[in-house]
Structure 1
Amino acid sequence: MRTKLDAVSIVAVLVTVGAFSATAPLTAYATGPVLALALGRNALGLLTLGPVFLLIRRREVRRTFSGERSLFRKEQRRAVFFGVLAGTALAAHFATFMSSTRLTSVAMATALVATQPVWQAVIASLQKNPLPRVTWVGLAVSVVGAVVASGVDMRAGTEAVVGDLLALAGAVALAGYTALSEQARPDVSTPMYSVLCFAVCTVELLILCLVTGTPLFSFTGDTWLALLGLLIFPQLLGLFSLNFALGRAPATAVSVMLLLEAPVAAVIAWLWLDELPAGSAWPGLLLIMLGVAVVVVADARRADPTADGLGGPIGPGGTIGSLMLPQHPLLTLDSAPGDDAHAFLWRLAHAGRFEEVEAAIRKSENHAVRVHGPKSTEAMHWIEVRAVVARIAGDPGLAARLWLAAARFYSSLPRPDLHERRACLDRAFHEWSNVKDNHAIGQLASALREMYENDPDHRPEVPDAIDRRLRRRGIHSVPGAAQGLVTRTATTRSVTEP
């Protein structure tokens, strides 16, 4: 992944913003019943993307239906349970957000549903994951903005206020969908989980339509065109352009740029539907966007900036490490790191079965050494896996040492792999930032600073950040032999040691 936004990445994000911004205007334009429209949109997305997802994991599907890997084995019942709950939350999002676009302005509905990262932060706090002070500041700014903007709607009438509340409910439901998906994802692959979750959503929306007596197919030509637009733009074009952008650009920059969705949606509604919120609502809308941006950026500063498969798995619906991207339905970016073997290791590690994890890693590592050699990337891969397990075990010092060992390996190749070296080095710095013991902090600081200074084009601000942390901790000198200590420890210490 690039460390800066290049021209191609910017174009990809702008395409994403435009595609997702069409959601609310298309829904407001359609004349059919909202619940039927929500059902149609979800069903079309499932029918279009579901077969593709299942094709990607066709071997898993074959094993599942042949009985070799039943979805109802003990370790996967939990995934099914949370998948059903997540599908319910997604159905609630579709029903509430799409209904809100008929009752309040497109700009207001889009801005309020974009507060999803704020509610995600609240859920994290309720799960006893403490949030930094700046995140609470961003949350407060968003709440003030919502109050200001909704005050204008209160003067406009009860219908607009109901629309605002429905949009907020849609944001909360989407945050719930992401949180529930995080609980389910370690035990089932992304394609299988996506199909399960979206199938539940489709069935529940169908039941809701039948219970409320909503006509399912009484669509006009305009509504069918709107459904087609929802499929082409947010479901397909938006999904793939966002995936492309996240493969090239920093997640923080992408997530902040996605906040342009609200003003772009307002412009589309103005040009197409001749609809704009009252002038006095704009300060509130801007405060909402500012607050969400503060929450996203503040959370990104706590996350691993280079997290991907091994350093911090991409979470369902767009969570990277702990960074919460603005979410969109049918956007499930998560995948278990590596293949099924890795997913198995993560499950064991999260269950605290570290001796079994180490035995499995050793077996795979020995095989890689025999087949590819002790200095191969295939063998080094298992050092990286150990680093992830150390992180799960709550040992950031060991994780940092292991990532440093991996970074040195990529530097020592006949053709040094600068991309992988930088990624491993950033992960080492992130883990070092979580170390609490002053002795370990001092031991690692010298090696970290040295490696960053040897690559001055890569994050030049990090050596100063290292020095600032040392001063804050009252550490005035660091060992000079840190390099040898890091390499020796990383290559000999087991993840099962205390």
Structure 2
Amino acid sequence: MRTRLDTLSVTAVLVTVCAFSATAPLTAFATGPVLALALGRNALGFLTLGPAVALIRRREFGKVFRKERFLVRREQRRGALFGILAGTALAAHFATFMPSTRMTSVAMATALVATQPIWQALISTFQGLRLPRATWAGLVVSVMGAVIASGMDGRSGTEAVVGDILALTGACALAGYTALSEQARPDVSTPVYSVLCSAVCTVELLVVCLLARTPLFTFDGGTWLALLGLLIFPQLLGLFSLNFALGRAPATMVSVFLLLEAPVAALVGWLWLGQLPAATTWPGLIMIMAGVTVVVVADARRTPPLSDATGATRLPVTFPQHPLLALHQAPGSDVYTYLRRQAHAGRFAEVEAAIRDLETRAVRIHGAKSPEATHWIEVRAEVARIAGNHGLAAQLWLNAARFHGSAPAPDPRRIRDCLDRAHHEWRDTADEHIVSTLAPVLRAMYLKDVGRAGEIPADLRAYPAPVRAESSQVTRPVHGS
């Protein structure tokens, strides 16, 4: 596991903290309707990112709409469904958290919405995962802190307590968004998923505004400036720097750093808006932050179990330090033996579900393009090979090569090994459409690989000339491909 943050990663995380910390103060500063402000923020974000993503990913969008996307089509539909549900949860988050900043203090709203990891841990229990004692201890401390701080808010009137409840509801909605996103992200690319969630969130907030008869975009000059700040800071700069940091650093460490959002927002609220929380609320706020920190750290150390087909044996899951460990090279009594046995038995749905859980876990802890997360792409490629789906295996090995190449310290040996495996699977692919699609990508990857320009395999270099013998092997679909 990577445990150090380099200077660039720390800078990205600090930019993320500062950008996200501007959300509550900007919302409290604006005078326009809060729901209209939430709609405007998402609509502008969608109009800014949507066309750019559609242009950059036009080939991906085209293949999806023409139903030509051969990589796990059923899983893509599953990812889109979870993306729609996640967009709904995101809309609920904005519709509750942003009004709370007007009803309670900026510090209180930000601290309560920062309890999202608490509710995320509780969601994990409903998914069958056992929580360690440290997680439960952190949960109790945070809840007690929220009760103490909210009780002191009660002295300021009922509106402040309602604001606290809305902020907690926003935290729960954000936890739901994260849980749904974890289910969808292994099957949908980041740009496409971001646009999908943003579009769903915008449409649903528009419906809410229309039902509530909220005036749309009838803002004064100050509110327009606040809306522009929400677009630039949390919507664009914050999310971009966060995604950059998650690609280089462990997600757990990033999450701990993000807890700085609450004190930074409180400082901004005090200096800009003159909102200084009462001294009696500070112990509760500190307890909230301490409890959430314990939960985040405990979550990083938790290792989820994996059951076999009968449910009788629970195998410990570890993240190997050598990402090129293939299934047939794994020790005889670990998770890889279980996955290999299930794959050879034809239980590909169960294997895919297990790998997805492990891959999602690795992404959360280590980052989207970390060696630990890339390793599970390689395991999926090996399972596809066992299933006889060589085209899918080649695509997955190519994805692994790309991720190894974009790592902070690329390993040429691992990149070359992935490319050679992708080429081997490409040669065994019978579907000519897949072959023709992957050939130029493979050639480009070999050319990009330093020192390999003259080592492109002859059959790949000559394609589409008829030098490649067609494989008579019939591919068997895996996971709905």
Q: TM-score, normalised by structure 1?
A: 0.64
Kindly provide the amino acid, as one letter, of the partner of residue 64 in structure 1: V
Tell me, in whole angstroms, the C-alpha distance in 2 between the residues paired with 1:45 and 1:229. 12
- Contact conserved, 1:56 with 1:191, CA < 8 A, in 2? no
Tell me, in whole angstroms, the C-alpha distance in 2 between the residues paired with 1:219 and 1:116. 31
**Which moves more between the two structures, 83-92 or 34-43?**
83-92
Correspondence for 1:136: 136
Q: Does 1:194 align with 2:194?
A: yes
Q: Does 1:381 align with 2:418?
A: yes
Alignment CA distance shift 1:88-1:103 (3 Å): same
- Superposed displacement of residue 276, structure 1: 1.6
- Superposed displacement of residue 358, structure 1: 8.0
Residues 416-449 of structure 1: CA deviation (Å, up to 9, x unaligned): xxxxxxxxxxxxxxxxxxxxxxxxxxxxxxxxxx
**Which moves more between the two structures, 15-24 or 297-306?**
297-306
Correspondence for 1:288: 288
- Superposed displacement of residue 175, structure 1: 0.6
Tell me, in whole angstroms, the C-alpha distance in 2 between the residues paired with 1:188 and 1:181. 10
Aligned to 2:182, the other structure's residue is in SS state helix
- Superposed displacement of residue 259, structure 1: 0.6
- Contact conserved, 2:266 with 2:276, CA < 8 A, in 1? yes
Tell me, in whole angstroms, the C-alpha distance in 1 between the residues paired with 2:265 and 2:105. 10
Aligned to 1:232, the other structure's residue is in SS state helix
Residues 18-52 of structure 1: CA deviation (Å, up to 9, x unaligned): 11100000000000001000000011111122233
- Superposed displacement of residue 298, structure 1: 1.0
Residues 202-245 of structure 1: CA deviation (Å, up to 9, x unaligned): 00100100011000021011110001001111122222322333
Q: Does 1:356 align with 2:387?
A: yes
- Superposed displacement of residue 5, structure 1: 3.1
Tell me, in whole angstroms, the C-alpha distance in 2 between the residues paired with 1:294 and 1:235. 28
Correspondence for 2:13: 13
Alignment CA distance shift 1:271-1:378 (3 Å): closer
- Superposed displacement of residue 12, structure 1: 2.7
Alignment CA distance shift 1:288-1:383 (3 Å): farther
In the TM superposition, 1:27-426 aligns within 5 A as 27-69=27-69, 74-302=74-302, 321-323=363-365, 345=380, 355-356=386-387, 377-378=414-415, 380-381=417-418
**Which moves more between the two structures, 172-181 or 300-309?**
300-309
Aligned to 1:236, the other structure's residue is in SS state helix
Kindly provide the amino acid, as one letter, of the partner of residue 86 in structure 2: A
Kindly provide the amino acid, as one letter, of the partner of residue 381 in structure 1: C
Aligned to 1:170, the other structure's residue is in SS state helix
Residues 280-301 of structure 1: CA deviation (Å, up to 9, x unaligned): 0010001000011111111112
- Superposed displacement of residue 166, structure 1: 0.3
Alignment CA distance shift 1:219-1:192 (3 Å): same
Tell me, in whole angstroms, the C-alpha distance in 1 between the residues paired with 2:396 and 2:284. 56
- Superposed displacement of residue 194, structure 1: 1.9
Tell me, in whole angstroms, the C-alpha distance in 1 between the residues paired with 2:24 and 2:358. 25
Alignment CA distance shift 1:342-1:104 (3 Å): same
- Superposed displacement of residue 83, structure 1: 1.8
Stretches of structure 1 lacking an aligned partner (at least 5 in a row)? 326-331, 368-374, 386-414, 416-498
Residues 183-209 of structure 1: CA deviation (Å, up to 9, x unaligned): 223333222222222111100100100
Tell me, in whole angstroms, the C-alpha distance in 1 between the residues paired with 2:33 and 2:253. 37
Alignment CA distance shift 1:333-1:345 (3 Å): closer
Tell me, in whole angstroms, the C-alpha distance in 1 between the residues paired with 2:136 and 2:42. 34
- Superposed displacement of residue 383, structure 1: 11
Tell me, in whole angstroms, the C-alpha distance in 1 between the residues paired with 2:387 and 2:73. 20
- Superposed displacement of residue 364, structure 1: 7.9
**Which moves more between the two structures, 305-314 or 129-138?**
305-314
Aligned to 1:32, the other structure's residue is in SS state coil
- Superposed displacement of residue 16, structure 1: 1.6
- Superposed displacement of residue 53, structure 1: 3.0
- Superposed displacement of residue 104, structure 1: 0.4
Structure ranking higher on relative contact order (CA contacts 8 Å, 6+ apart): 2
Tell me, in whole angstroms, the C-alpha distance in 1 between the residues paired with 2:5 and 2:258. 14
Tell me, in whole angstroms, the C-alpha distance in 2 between the residues paired with 1:199 and 1:137. 38
- Contact conserved, 1:314 with 1:321, CA < 8 A, in 2? no
Aligned to 2:259, the other structure's residue is in SS state helix
Alignment CA distance shift 1:252-1:70 (3 Å): closer
- Superposed displacement of residue 382, structure 1: 8.3
Residues 360-401 of structure 1: CA deviation (Å, up to 9, x unaligned): 68778999xxxxxxx95346338999xxxxxxxxxxxxxxxx
Alignment CA distance shift 1:158-1:133 (3 Å): same
Kindly provide the amino acid, as one letter, of the partner of residue 418 in structure 2: H
- Superposed displacement of residue 77, structure 1: 3.0
Tell me, in whole angstroms, the C-alpha distance in 1 between the residues paired with 2:205 and 2:369. 23
Kindly provide the amino acid, as one letter, of the partner of residue 273 in structure 2: L
Alignment CA distance shift 1:333-1:291 (3 Å): farther
Tell me, in whole angstroms, the C-alpha distance in 1 between the residues paired with 2:176 and 2:6. 33
**Which moves more between the two structures, 183-192 or 254-263?**
183-192
- Contact conserved, 1:313 with 1:320, CA < 8 A, in 2? no
Tell me, in whole angstroms, the C-alpha distance in 2 between the residues paired with 1:246 and 1:206. 31
- Contact conserved, 1:147 with 1:284, CA < 8 A, in 2? yes
- Superposed displacement of residue 343, structure 1: 10
Tell me, in whole angstroms, the C-alpha distance in 1 between the residues paired with 2:418 and 2:119. 36
Correspondence for 1:390: none
Alignment CA distance shift 1:261-1:274 (3 Å): same
Kindly provide the amino acid, as one letter, of the partner of residue 227 in structure 1: L
Correspondence for 1:493: none
- Superposed displacement of residue 55, structure 1: 3.5
Tell me, in whole angstroms, the C-alpha distance in 1 between the residues paired with 2:73 and 2:4. 44
Alignment CA distance shift 1:47-1:382 (3 Å): same
Percent of pairs with identical residues: 64
Alignment CA distance shift 1:307-1:165 (3 Å): farther
Count of residue correspondences? 365
Kindly provide the amino acid, as one letter, of the partner of residue 377 in structure 1: R
Kindly provide the amino acid, as one letter, of the partner of residue 175 in structure 1: A
Alignment CA distance shift 1:201-1:301 (3 Å): same
Residues 243-281 of structure 1: CA deviation (Å, up to 9, x unaligned): 333344443332212111101101101111111221100
Aligned to 1:131, the other structure's residue is in SS state coil
Q: TM-score, normalised by structure 2?
A: 0.66
Alignment CA distance shift 1:362-1:324 (3 Å): closer
- Superposed displacement of residue 354, structure 1: 8.0
In the TM superposition, 1:452-463 aligns within 5 A as none
